[in-house]
Amino acid sequence: MQENLLTESAPPRGRRPREVPRSARRLLLAGLACVYLVTPFLVQDHILFLLSYCAVLALAGAGVVLLVGRAGTVWIAQPFFMGLGAYLAVALADRFDPGFVVLALAAGAAAAVAGAVTGWLAVRLGGLELAIVSFGVVLIGDYLARQLTSLTGGSAGRASSSVEVSVGPVNFEELGSFSPEQGLFWATWAVTAACLALAAFLLRRAPGRTWVALRDNERAAEAIGIDVRREKIGVFALAGAFGGLGGAMLAGLREYIAPEDFGFTMVTLLMAVVIVGGVTRLAGAVVGALVLPGLEFLVAEFADSPALGWLIKSTAEDSGFFTAGSFNLLIFGALILVVLLVEPQGLLGGAARLLDRWKETPADRTVPDEGEVK
C-alpha cells in the first residue's frame, strides 16, 4: 500500500505512460552542455549578464517548484530566503572576506534554517492560512530590511561589490582575457545546474515520492507511517537553501541590493516564472526564468518605439499610461491568467502534451479506460 501511495501521479486513463529514452536524455544533456560552453562566445556581454540573472531566478524558482508543485503547499515567500542569503553574504564579505564558497554555504545554511522554521509552521497550518502566513513573512522581511540599517543599509540599500564570485584563487570576474560577464555566466549556471541536479535526484527517490504523497493526500500519507512534520520541514529547508544561495549569487552579480529586490515584485516574478514554465517541473523553472526576464528586456529595449511608446512613459512628462516596471507586472499577471486558463501545466506541460499527441499511435488511442466495458 505504501509503495502505491508513494508512486508519482499515474498517467491519464486511456493513455500509456511514455518513458523518455535514456539515450535521448543523454543527448539533451550533451546539447545543453555545448550551449553552456559556447554561449559566452556568441552573445554580447549585456545579454550574458541578463542570462546570469536568469540563473538566479531559475534556482529560486526551483525552490518554489519543490514547495508548490511537488509538496503542494501554498507558499509565496521565497524572496524572503533570497534576501536573507543576499544580506548575510554582503555582511560577511564586508567584515571577513572569507571567499564566495563560504559565503554561499553560509547563506544557504541560514536560509535553510529559516526554511525549517517556516516548515514547522506549515505542519501546523495549511491552505489559505499558510498562504496568509507567507504573505506576512514577505512583509516582515521588507520591514526588517528597511529597519536594520546597520546590516541592510535601510531603504537606500547597500553596496554588494564586496561579494566576488570566486572559487579559491579563481575569480570568475577576472578570468584572464574573458570579460566579467562571461565568467559570471559560467559560474552562475554551473551552480544552478548542480542544485537542479540535486533536486532532480531527490525527486526520483524516496523523498520526492514522499512529497508527492503529501501533496496528493496528507492524511493518507500520515496513516501509512510517513512523518509529515519531518518531510515538510525537510522540503522547506531545501527550498530555503536554494533561495538563500540564489540571493548570495544575486549579491555577487549586482553592485547594489535594496529591499525592493526581495519584495512583492520578486514574489510576482517568481510565481510567474514557475507557472509559465510549469509549476510541477524543475525544468519549468528554467524555461520561465528565461522567458520572463527576456520579456522584461524586450519591453525596456522597445519602450520608446512606436509600438510601445504610446503605452509606456520613460519620464514623468511622457504621455504613456504605464512605467516600464508597472507594464512588466501587467504582462506577468496576464501571462499567469492565460497559462492557467489555457495550459495549467505551463509551457513544458503543453509541449509534452503536444509531443505525446504527435507520437500517439492508433493502438494508444484505443486503450480502454479503467472500468470501460470491452
pLDDT in tens, 140-173: 999 999 999 988 999 989 999 999 999 988 899 9
Calpha distance 147→326 (Å, rounded): 26
Calpha distance 305→308 (Å, rounded): 6
In the numeric block, which cell numbers belong to residue 262?
526581495
pLDDT at residue 364 greater than cutoff 60 = no
pLDDT at residue 355 greater than cutoff 80 = no
Residue length, the chain?
A: 374
Residue 55 near residue 193, CB atoms below 8 Å: no
In the numeric block, which cell numbers belong to residue 27?
543527448
pLDDT at 232: 87
pLDDT band at residue 51 using 50, 70 and 90 as cut-offs: very high
Biggest CA–CA distance in the chain, Å, is 74
User: Which among 184, 238, 235, 198 has a CA at the least distance from the CA of 213?
Assistant: 235
Q: Could you tell me the pTM of the whole model? A: 0.86
In the numeric block, which cell numbers belong to residue 372?
470501460
pLDDT at 307: 65
All residues at 6 or more sequence positions from 6 whose CB lies less than 8 Å from its CB, including other chains: 206, 209, 210, 212, 213
pLDDT at 317: 62
Reduced to 3 states (helix: H, G, I; strand: E, B; else coil), residue 253 is: helix
Which segment of 144-153, 156-165, 183-192, 207-216 scores lowest on mean pLDDT?
207-216
In the numeric block, which cell numbers belong to residue 272?
510567474
Percent of the chain with pLDDT over 70: 86
Alpha helices in 96-179 (DSSP H): 100-124, 128-147, 149-152
Task: Enumerate the domain spans of the chain.
Answer: 32-258, 263-363
Q: Is 277 exposed, middle or buried (0-12, 13-18, 19+ CB in 10 A)?
A: buried
Calpha distance 32→286 (Å, rounded): 12
Calpha distance 51→28 (Å, rounded): 20
**pLDDT tens per residue across span 223-271:** 777 887 888 899 999 999 999 999 999 999 999 999 999 998 899 899 9
pLDDT at 198: 95
Q: Is 246 exposed, middle or buried (0-12, 13-18, 19+ CB in 10 A)?
A: buried
Our CA angle for 106, 111, 114, nearest 5°, is 130
* DSSP conformation class of 263: S
pLDDT band at residue 363 using 50, 70 and 90 as cut-offs: low
